[in-house]
Amino acid sequence: MALDTQQAAFVNNTRITFQKLAEAMETLDDLKSIYYDRQYGIGGANEIRDADLTDQFADITAANLAAGITATEQLLKYRDNEAVTTGDYGTTINILRSL
């Protein structure tokens, strides 16, 4: 028995969404590594400060970046079946996606 049109659309949308999620997770993993390897974090040797962002990214702060990396770490832990620290990561994601 074949899927009806709505079922087929649902399955296809689910498949595409999870492909995008997997790609996004890989990108987030890379960004997290770059953030730490290049010491961009608060207190790092190459710290990205608010003053550095004002010319090109006036709507984002160093704290926003740090919070995004923290949310990324927890999402990657979830993916890897590791213990996650609870937090208001949804708010962080909403802030970053609206900037």
For helices 89-98 and 62-79, what crossing angle results, to 10°? 130
Q: What is the pLDDT of residues 5-15, one digit of tens each?
A: 999 999 999 99
47's CB contacts (< 8 A; 6+ apart) are 39, 40, 41, 62
Per-residue pLDDT of 69-82, as tens digits, reads: 999 999 999 999 99
Condensed to tens digits (0 to 9), the pLDDT of residues 28-75 reads 999 999 999 999 999 999 999 999 999 899 899 999 999 999 999 999
The one-character DSSP state at 67 is: H
- pTM recorded for the entire structure: 0.84
Give SS3 for 60.
Answer: coil
**Nearest to residue 70, comparing CAs of 38, 31, 43, 98?**
31
- Residue 88: band (very low, low, confident or very high) from pLDDT cuts 50, 70, 90: very high
